[in-house]
Amino acid sequence: MSYQYLTIEERNRTALVTINRPDVLNALNTGVIAEIDAVFTEILGNSNYKGVILTGAGQKSFVAGADISELAALTEPTAVVLSKRGQAVFAKIENFPKPVVAAVNGFALGGGCELAMACHLRIASENAKFGQPEVNLGIIAGYGGTQRLTRLIGKTKALELLLTTDMITAAQAQGLGLVNAVVPIDQLIETALAMLQKCYKKSPRALANTITAVNACHETGVNGYEVEATLFGNCCHYSDFKEGTTAFLEKRAAQFQDI
Ligand code: COA
């Protein structure tokens, strides 16, 4: 499939997806959101891909937020629809059964920070900056930011960032547990690929079940321990479990099945 606002290329069994609107610092309009939805559907259907890296075009910005020229025309009902649509697409990323790494190559503001937070892992370049500046525009974070930021860094710092709109550096984001690692920008994609290569040696089924179980931790009305026990049992349905345990006992590398 071809895209207007994205590029997708294969690197070592990884889908490298680049949001490509550099003239507006890769801001998210409805077309970008629709294409992010579509590209994850495409990747899910292609067993050749074992994981995903999401990044932005250029060396200045990952994503500088929702497209403000589009936001400016919102009314109360259309804003609710836009928010729910963005939330659904970002939830699709968070619940994606293959590991997804955000390679944050510059500004991750507003919807850009929210998009990075929906990914399973975040690697930032040294020049990356994170922030939730929505209240400057008289609006609030609407793509899950009020929820995910609070869960990831705690209420105290989340409210500080959301209410003051202070931007933080990549190093500060790492200190808050918002990113997994900070590297020079020319090593960003290689670092993300190396992290994914470690995951690819594991059972894909077990990775998918781990993502689901960890996400259950943040769902209301769900007993995460029940989900964990069910998924622990579910792994035993699949040959990867037999292969993983047998390979350990036979002192050889396991050969797991793609899903
Ligand atoms: N939506 C639409 N256009 C955006 C944008 C956004 N979120 N962020 C940047 N742009 C556009 C700018 O309007 C500018 O367009 P122009 O060249 O036609 O004037 C271009 O991208 C470059 O941005 P500019 O502001 O000139 O770069 P800068 O280096 O001076 O500042 C930022 C960078 C990220 C600090 C600044 O662009 C900014 O504050 N962006 C908005 C961030 C935001 O509020 N996001 C949350 C939205 S809910």
What pLDDT shows up at residue 220?
A: 83
219 is catalytic: no
User: Which of 68, 107, 169 most suits a substitution to test ligand 1, by most atoms within 8 Å of the C-beta?
Assistant: 68
Residue 126 CA neighbour count, 13 Å, CB half: 5
pTM value is: 0.98
228 is catalytic: no
Residues with Cβ < 8 Å from 74, sequence gap 6 or more?
A: 82
For ligand 1, say whether the CB of 69 is within 6 Å of any of its atoms: yes
Which two structure tokens, joined as six digits, stand for 45?
């259907």
Backbone phi, psi, residue 16, to 5°: -95, 105
Q: pLDDT, tens digit, for every residue of 128-158?
A: 999 999 999 999 999 999 999 999 999 999 9
Q: Angle at Cα 202 formed by Cα 207 and Cα 217, nearest 5°? A: 25
Q: pLDDT, tens digit, for every residue of 8-40?
A: 999 999 999 999 999 999 999 999 999 999 999
Q: Which of 10, 70, 76, 134 is catalytic?
A: 134
For ligand 1, say whether the CB of 158 is within 6 Å of any of its atoms: no
- Residue 221 or residue 198, greater confidence: 198
- Residue 258 or residue 214, greater confidence: 214
Residue 222 carries which side chain, given as an amino acid letter?
V
Residue 88 carries which side chain, given as an amino acid letter?
A
Distance CA 232, CA 211 (A): 12
For ligand 1, say whether the CB of 51 is within 6 Å of any of its atoms: no
Backbone phi, psi, residue 256, to 5°: -90, 160
Residue whose Cα lies nearest atom 37 of ligand 1: it is 64
Distance CA 88, CA 94 (A): 10
For ligand 1, say whether the CB of 33 is within 6 Å of any of its atoms: no
